[in-house]
Structure 1
Amino acid sequence: MKIALCAIVAVWLPLLVHAVTVAPKTGSDRCVKYEMVAKKRTWADAALMCEEKGMILARDFDDRSHKDLVDYIVANPFNPRKDFWINGKKNADGNMQTGDGLATNNTFYDFSNPSGNGDCLHLWKYFDYKWDDDACNKTKYFICERTCGDCLKYKVVNGNKLPWDQAALACVEDDMILARDLNSDTHNIMVDLIESKNYAPPKDVWINGIMNGNEVMEFTDGTVANFSTYDETNPSRNGDCLQLWTEHGYKWDDDICIKTKYYMCERECCGWYEVVPRKLTWAEATAWCAKDGLILARDLNIETHNQIVARIEAKNLPFKRKDFWLNGKKNWAGKMESSDKLTTTFTNYDDTVPVSDGDCLHMSSKSGYKWNHSSCESRKRFVCEKICF
């Protein structure tokens, strides 16, 4: 499936110095974006076209990835109802392997295959997109994928307790940041990750958060934490740095920053966006994204903004004016916030155009994809985003 934000989370807790090196995984462990290409190409040309997109032919590793692929094909409104080349070519032993040399122990042939008709792999529409080996010089539609690695990685270091600032620096040195507890979903994931290790005794864990001059918890990138899980005794003002406190069920606790603790890092590896050219209301667009496990795209900073715009422009949509709903709706205070209650100091309004009175956020090609508001009941195209934790 499916730039968006795939947060790779690393938990640093005791063990004899042991870095867990994660080999390439299969469907359920990958953050994947699929793209259907409705242009007929030979298998080799299809692989080349995917590479030109910074992608590869889609790989079908296991039950989960096969289901994801088939679901994607069936649900795609642009599905031409044809066969699709995917990533697989017979090696010297006659077994299917991907272009990067990975073989799979799982196969999804129908009862009549492999037939020996060819060396390249496609999903056969006549048998509900089961595998079929066919001649590589035939031209077919195809599916590309982009992966951003394993969605969960761990790096465990024995007794490496650090003060908060050194923990933050250690994460940065590993091209990561201290993990941000953004909402109830991320909180549950972070706690589950720690508890799954069954460390005895349980340990407090530094996470991303430090009190600013206004005694408000903010992240290391300067954004304010709009979510919290303090228990009834906190914030206690014992310190300025944020931990998950084991004695209180991993609720938030502000503690003295020079104390040494274990810590949790995260990495945003890649996200992906899906442009949907169908016009819907803001609520309908939100529901459309949700049915595929996505959310309306959040425009959080200049990097995500450029990624969203690039994705829209890459679609070459044949419309003179292109307005797209984004993930933003005015809250009770009149401020724009996303559906996961995340607010941002980043804005991208067009200073030359008055902001309308509507409550929902969109961008328009007419203004160079600047922001504006519209009535949430108006109908626009939209962009979905995949988040993988």
Structure 2
Amino acid sequence: MAQTLYFPLLLIALCSISECVQHHYYYINEGKNWTEAQRYCREKYTDLATIDNMNDMIRLKKSVNDAPVENMWIGPRRTNVYKWHWSSGDPVLFLNWTSGEPAGTNECTVMNNGQWDNEACNNTRVFICYNMGRGLVFVDQEMNWRAAQSYCRQNHIDLVSVRNQNESQQLENFIKDKNSRGSPVWIGLFRDTWQWSDQSNSSFRYWYTGEPNNAGNNEKCTVIGAYSQRGWADVACDDRRIPFVCHDDKLIVIQQNLSWSEALRYCRQNHVDLVSVQSVEMQRRVMNVVKLASTNAVWLGLRYSHIFGIWYWVSGETVCYQKWAPKYGTSEEDCEPTVRSGAVQSGGNWHWISRPETDRLNFICRNY
């Protein structure tokens, strides 16, 4: 039985960090191994398909509906590094482990007496979904973690995420009110070793039942099935008979080392323009793609005018949102006679810096 409570502070926006990147999917009917497919997608599009949420999954399904094949490569590849994720795709900004946890190799998480323990995902527990219209939903049915995730996605939005101490306390109070047995409750936190080809932080997963199983200890790449629900499976990466799905984003890193003016010309001839960063959301999109750069900074569409003494975007917008590194973007630095343009660091805190426009860097074009 599901019990609900409207809980505004725990509602998670449909447009999360990764979900606002609009992926366009392209089915490529050529047999290649995973590495060859990755190279093709990076040359022709952005990368092998990244899937951020169910909306992406639905769009990808539509793009491959007529594919007369059993499997197609997509972006996830197994690594040796475990990372924690929220099922919803929210960033992991807060953790509330019981002392000594997480212990062992268990990959799923319960809330128990206000704190978190990691458990085997095949354990059966009651669980908490969230719903944009109804808030928190307590489901008084015991399921394993994957089944609980599927139930929440089919009937609500997803398993619940917890972003800070205040939300953790409110969730604890909700569970005490609804969970009369006092048993541990599944939440949306899980860990795995899968990494998207484009280095995206997307935590969306859509495995078939029983997958990934790493049969023969050699299945490190991912295919999406062509039939039924089009779930995912892990397979060996060297099978050269498999077609694949690429994605193209609104932002693309160009791994050529050009001056700022050359980069501007390239983007306007081949795409739309150098990227303008006018919001926190756009900065997050930039952070998501800039990891693919081969230089330590990447050109943005940001320029300094010595005549007017201001920074401006080449799209014609003024610089409202700012993400300058310390000592950059200041009036003292802007007084230098060198013509300067704006770049974003390709690592660390992804701050903006100014560089002489003759420096040769990778750059980000926008496709919209």
Query: What TM-score, normalized to structure 2?
Result: 0.35
Query: What TM-score, normalized to structure 1?
Result: 0.34
